[in-house]
Amino acid sequence: MSIETVRVDLGTRSYDVRIGQGLLDRAGAEIVALAGKRRVAIVTDTTVAAAHLPRLIASLNTAGLQAEALALPAGEATKSWDRLGQAVEWLIAQRIERKDLVIALGGGVIGDLAGFASAILRRGVRFVQIPTTLLAQVDSSVGGKTGINSPQGKNLIGAFHQPSLVLADIDVLGTLAPRDFRAGYGEVAKYGLLGDEGFFEWLETAGPVLATDPEALQRAVRHSVAMKAGIVQRDETEQGERALLNLGHTFGHALESATGYSDRLLHGEGVAIGCTLAFELSARLGLCSQEAPSRVAAHFAAMGMPARIADIPGDLPGDEALIALMGQDKKVMDGKLRFILARGIGQSFVTDDVDPAALRAVLAASRRG
Ligand SMILES: NC(=O)c1ccc[n+]([C@@H]2O[C@H](COP(=O)([O-])OP(=O)(O)OC[C@H]3O[C@@H](n4cnc5c(N)ncnc54)[C@H](O)[C@@H]3O)[C@@H](O)[C@H]2O)c1
Ligand SMILES: O=C(O)C(=O)C[C@@H](O)[C@H](O)[C@H](O)COP(=O)(O)O
Ligand SMILES: [Zn+2]
C-alpha cells in the first residue's frame, strides 16, 4: 500500500498529513526539509519511548538530524500544569529556538501537551505530530487543538496551534494495547455518526477487522483525516461547523472529569458513551427514530466498547453533578449548554434547545444500562 497524503489547507498554516506504512523509519527524510539544520526535540511518553523512540532517533540521525528526547509518564494525568511546566522548562534547557522543531511522538495526550508547549514556548515554535495511537492518527494530531486538563473540566487550558506536518504510520498501531485501540475507534465511528452514514455502514462490517487488516485500517484513518481536514479548513477555530467534531463530547468530557481523568474511562470510551447518549437524547426529543440510538449502541457493543454510563466501573456523582460538569464545556454560550444532536446517522447539528427533563431521562436510563 502506498503512502497517502491529506492536505490541510489553511493558508500560511497549511500542512500535509502523511498516512501509511513504514513512515516512522522514513521520518528523518520526511522532516529534514522542514528542519533544515535546526535542532529537533522529541516529547514522548515512557511506553511509546520503549516501543518506538530508538527507531525515530535512528531515522533522524540518518537524515543528519540530532535529537534529544523527554519521556513523560503515560496516561491522561500527564495533561496537567505540572507536566506542561516540565516539558516547557526542558525545551528551554535544550535551548530550542523559535525556528527549531518539536516532535510529539505519542498518543493524544502527548500531542495535546507537546503541541501546547510548542504554542507557548518563545510565543510559538513549529511542531510535528507523529501520532502513535488510532485516536491520535484519526483525530488529535490534525486540526491544531492543543491543551491540558483542569480539575474543573477537560482541555480548559489550551491554544489553537497547527502542526507543520503529521506522520501517521499505521504500523506503529500494532503495539497498542487492545483497549487503547478500541478507545481510538470511538473517534473513528464518530465521523460516520456526525456526517457520513455510508462510512458508518462500512464500519459496521469493517470495524471488527480493522486491527488485523492494514488496508481497511489505512482506509479508516485516511477517510477520518479527510473528513476532519475538510471541517477544520472551513472553520479552523470552531465558530460554527467544527463543533460537530464534538459529537458525544459534552457527555464524554463530563464523565472523564467525574472519573478523575483515570483509566476508569479513556477518552475514546467516553466518546462512545457520549455518542450513544447524543443519539438517545435526539430520539427522545423526536429528532430521529428510535432505531438510530439502538444501532449506535449495538455497534459499540459489537466492538467490545462501553456504550452506557452503567458500563463505567465504580461510583459516579449524581446527574446534577454531571450536568454541572457539562456547564464547563467550551460550547456553553450565555450559560446555556449546547449539544451536538442528530436527525439520523450522519446528520448531526448543534443546538441549545434541549429540554432538561429529556436530558435527565437519558442520563437515568443510561445509568440503568
Ligand atoms: N486535540 C484534539 O483534537 C484531540 C482529539 C481527540 C482526543 N484528544 C485528546 O487525546 C487524548 C487521548 O489520546 P489517546 O487515546 O491517544 O491516549 P494516550 O495518549 O494516553 O495513549 C493511550 C495509551 O497508549 C499508549 N501508547 C501510545 N502509542 C502506543 C503504541 N504505538 N504502542 C503501545 N502503546 C502506545 C500510551 O502510552 C498510553 O498509555 C485525550 O486527552 C483527548 O482529550 C485531542
Ligand atoms: O478537533 C476538534 O474540534 C474536536 O472537537 C475533536 C475532539 O475529538 C477532541 O476530543 C477535542 O479535543 C475536543 O475539543 P474541546 O474543544 O471540546 O476540548
Ligand atoms: Zn475527542
Residues 6+ apart with CB under 8 A from 68: 40, 41, 42, 94
Q: What is the pLDDT of residues 114-148, one digit of tens each?
A: 999 999 999 999 999 999 999 999 999 999 999 99
The predicted structure's pLDDT at residue 248: 98
- Relative to beta strand 126-131, strand 101-106 is parallel
The predicted structure's pLDDT at residue 241: 97
251-270 exposure pattern, b = at least 16 Cβ within 10 A, e = fewer: bbbbbbbbbebeeebbbbbb
Q: What percent of the chain has pLDDT over 90?
A: 98
Catalytic residues: 123, 145, 187, 228, 238, 242, 246, 249, 253, 267
Give the angle 36-51-159 at the CA atoms, nearest 5°. Answer: 55
- Ligand closest to 267 (CA) is 1
Give the angle 20-26-32 at the CA atoms, nearest 5°. Answer: 125
Q: Where are the alpha helices (DSSP H) in the chain?
A: 27-35, 46-62, 81-93, 108-120, 134-135, 178-195, 197-206, 214-234, 249-258, 267-284, 291-302, 319-326, 356-368
Residue 158 predicted with pLDDT over 90 = yes
DSSP 172: G
The predicted structure's pLDDT at residue 319: 96
Tell me which residues have their CB closer than 6 angstroms to ligand 1: 45, 47-48, 51, 74-76, 79, 106-110, 112, 132-133, 135-136, 139-140, 143, 145, 154-155, 172, 175-176, 180, 183-184, 187, 266-268
Q: What is the pLDDT of residues 316-364, one digit of tens each?
A: 999 999 999 999 999 999 999 999 999 999 999 999 999 999 999 999 9
110 annotated to bind ligand:
yes
**193 falls in which pLDDT band (50, 70, 90)?**
very high
Q: What is the pLDDT of residues 241-277, one digit of tens each?
A: 999 999 999 999 999 999 999 999 999 999 999 999 9
The predicted structure's pLDDT at residue 156: 97
Which structural domains are found in the chain, ordered by start? 4-175 (3.40.50.1970), 181-368 (1.20.1090.10)
Residue 42 predicted with pLDDT over 80 = yes
Residue 91 predicted with pLDDT over 80 = yes
111 annotated to bind ligand:
yes
**369 falls in which pLDDT band (50, 70, 90)?**
confident
Mean pLDDT of 285-304: 98
Grid look-up 530550542 returns 96
Residue 37 predicted with pLDDT over 80 = no
Cα 353 from chain centre: 27
The predicted structure's pLDDT at residue 141: 98
**93 falls in which pLDDT band (50, 70, 90)?**
very high
The predicted structure's pLDDT at residue 243: 98
Mean pLDDT of 25-40: 92
The predicted structure's pLDDT at residue 320: 96
Mean pLDDT of 227-244: 98
133 annotated to bind ligand:
yes
The predicted structure's pLDDT at residue 38: 85
The predicted structure's pLDDT at residue 1: 79
- Rounded to the nearest integer, the mean pLDDT of the chain is 97
